[in-house]
Amino acid sequence: MCLIVGLGNPGKKYERTRHNVGFLVLDEIAALTNSKFRNKNEVKGQMAETKINNRATELLKPETFMNLSGEAVVAAIKKWRVTKNKITIILDDVNLPLGTFRVRADGSAGGHNGLKSIIEKTGTDEIRRIRLGIGRPTHPEQPLDKWVLEKLNKEDWKTVVEAARLIAKKIVNGEIFIG
């Protein structure tokens, strides 16, 4: 069993924001694999069951809000007895240019509160992650917390959707290893 977690914040208010690109990638994976998300209270999120490269895979969109993402991940680990080497986290990254992405097997939270919560709750930073670039604020005075929660303009949204589709295709086609 593999677990892919897309980070974001629940609710209409946060749709199409920079912080929700993890949810967007999972939506693209679900579309490619004909999977549907359902609310699962026991894992504090929305789940979709699928198969990727002949492996049973659960897709998780935590409903705990970004800073408490670790709660949903730990609940999913317990429910499906997923080992940490079978977990992939998809998240936004302000340090990467818009629409670029990076895959790493482990590392620090890099200032990302959702990933920080997961590392704290699981007790390890050895969790695979895919970081999707959202860029930095264009105005130096703009606080990062406001930037990540801002809705993307039409052009930036198109760039992020294209990147999310590419990541999803690479995962489904086995070009990005998920566990």
Positions annotated as catalytic residues are: 19
| Angle at alpha carbon of residue 152, lines to 148 and 153, rounded to 5° | 145
* Two tokens, residue 146: 């406001």
Q: How many CA atoms lie within 13 A of 104 on its CB side?
A: 14
Instruction: State how far the alpha carbon of 24 is from the alpha carbons of 1, 43, 82, 94, 139, in Å.
Output: 22, 19, 23, 16, 25
E strand or H helix at 51: strand 45-52
